[in-house]
Amino acid sequence: LLFILLAIFFWFIGYNAVETYFTLYATNVLGVSKGTASMTLAFFSLALVVGAIPAGMIGTKFGRKKTIMTGLIGIIILFALQLFTNNINMVRILLVLAGFCWALVNINSLPMVLEIAKSSRIGTYTGYYYFFSASSNIISPPLFGLVHDITKNYAHVFIYAVVAFAIAFVCISMAKHGEVEVDNEEIMREAQELDD
């Protein structure tokens, strides 16, 4: 559970920095207007929404941990590529792909935590999830703000995010639980009902 919660903490560290500072990155580095910057970030959010249900289905079919790790690898690659382009259309394409990868990560994380909880402790484990995700949302903006004060470059938000997602990848790779538990008795009952 601790490794899953630490992974959640670090991937929200990375996500929140990009979400918070993308407009400043786009206006200062890409040279676009604030309106264009906001619309460009919406490509990421829209891809997350569109990818939400497929991401849940993929996680159930192939395993949540593998799905999350695949999503993290995708985000790391796509955010690293952001550093090598100043073309707004290419940035949008990368953000759409990153949004789908983020769906693989985000949609499967809470179910992974809740799978460990017994039914009587679902509220407690939900609290753990939101404590770690909300804490990162509080910590990340001033932390990257400090990084920017030192580097004076908003493009470094993607380096910052890549490092955070890489740490999250290491943490989730160490998790041992959180997959869907197969209830053989429930399967037998459903099969019997179908026969009847």
How many residues in the chain?
196
Cβ pair 101, 48 in contact under 8 A: no
**Rounded to 5°, angle at Cα 154 from 81 and 147:** 110
Tell me the C-alpha distance between 191 and 189, whole Å. 5
**Distance separating alpha carbons of residues 37 and 117, to the nearest angstrom:** 41
184 neighbors 102 (Cβ within 8 angstroms): no
Rounded CA separation 169/4 (Å): 10
How confident is the model over 24-53, as a mean pLDDT? 94
Please state the pTM of the whole predicted model. 0.86
Tokens of 119: 């039914």
Least confident piece of the model among 48-52, 91-95, 176-180: 176-180
pLDDT of residue 178: 53
Confidence of residue 163 (pLDDT cuts 50, 70, 90): very high
